[in-house]
Amino acid sequence: MKDLFPKQHVMGFGFSLLLTLVALAVIKFDMSYNMAFGVLLVTALAQATVQLVLFMHIGESEDKKTLYTTILYSVFVGVVTIIGTLFAMIWGYN
């Protein structure tokens, strides 16, 4: 019976709901901009980790090379998109 219950998935589901609620709390409670941003950043990173580890089973596959290449590529695209947008739309905007 123990093997039949998808413990990891239910845990992951619980965690992701909890993290969403914490992130939502930012609008409910009156806090400073920096504080709110900090909460959002931390919950976002935690959320990404939960998704990757508990749902996408990262690290369980043999093929480490593909894994690291993919992660490196996504970090590249993510950083370029975010920093690039800030660069084009805010820092370098007249």
Long-range pairs for 19-24: beta carbons < 8 A, 24 or more residues apart: 19/43, 19/46, 19/47, 19/50, 20/47, 23/47
- The answer to the question of residue 20 lying near another protein (CB under 8 A) is no
Question: Which residues inside 49-68 make contact with another protein, applying CB under 8 A?
Answer: 66
CA-based torsion, 8, 11, 13, 18: positive or negative: negative
44 interacts with another protein by CB under 8 A: no
CB of 20 to another protein, least distance (A): 16
Q: How far is the CB of 63 from another protein (least distance, A)?
A: 8
- Which of 45, 58, 57, 59 lies closest to 16 in space, CA to CA? 45
For residue 52, count other CB atoms closer than 10 A to its CB. Answer: 13
4 touches another protein (CB under 8 A): no
Among positions 37, 55, 68, 76, the unique one binding another protein when judged by CB under 8 A: 76
The binding site for another protein (CB under 8 A) comprises 66, 73-74, 76-77, 80-81, 84-85, 87-89, 92-94
